[in-house]
Amino acid sequence: MAMTHTDPVCGMQVDERHAGAKSTYRGQTFYFCMKACKEKFDANPEKYYNPGGLAR
Ligand SMILES: [Zn+2]
């Protein structure tokens, strides 16, 4: 079973093992399909940070 996460920037499902990048914000780890998404997230995490919405 693959661990997938939703890329908060583009909304893609990202397999943990194939993530292009990851970032930790407020104690939560976020996975991104590519570095460009991480850079957008890091530049403005509050815009993408959405507790409830990422609950799976
Ligand atoms: Zn992405």
Domain boundaries, the chain: 4-54
Assess whether pLDDT exceeds 70 at residue 3.
Answer: yes
The pTM is what?
0.82
pLDDT the model gives residue 56? 45
CA angle, 37 then 13 then 42, to 5°: 25
Instruction: Give the span between the Cα atoms of 48 and 40, in whole angstroms.
Output: 9
Q: Ligand 1: distance of its center to the CA of 9 in Å?
A: 6
Q: Ligand 1: distance of its center to the CA of 37 in Å?
A: 5
Q: What tokens appear for 5 in the block?
A: 């996460």
pLDDT tens for 13-56 read 999 999 999 999 999 999 999 999 999 999 999 999 876 555 44
Q: Phi and psi dihedrals of 42, rounded to 5?
A: -65, -30
The hierarchical CATH code for the domain 4-54 is: 2.30.170
